[in-house]
Copies of this chain bind each other. A is one copy, B any other.
Amino acid sequence: MKKLFYYNWQKRQEWFEWAFELPEEDLLLNRTGGVGNILETLLHIVVVEIGWLKDLKGELFDDDLTGYITLEKVKHLNDQYHHEIKDYIESWTTDREDLRIDIEGETFTEGEVLNHIIVHEIHHSGQLSIWSRALGKKPVRANYIHRGLGV
Contact = CB atoms under 8 A, between A and B. Distances in A.
Interface of A: 1, 3-4, 7, 32-34, 94, 98, 100, 107-109, 111-113, 115-116, 118-120, 122-127, 129-134, 139, 142-145, 149-151
A142 B119 contact: yes
The oligomer's copy count stands at 2
A144 B134 CA distance: 28
Given A125-B123, A126-B126, A127-B127, A113 B145 contact: yes
Nearest to A110: B150
Given A109-B151, A149-B115, A151-B109, A129 B34 contact: yes
Residue of A109, A125, A142, A143 with most chain B CB atoms under a 10 A cut-off: A142
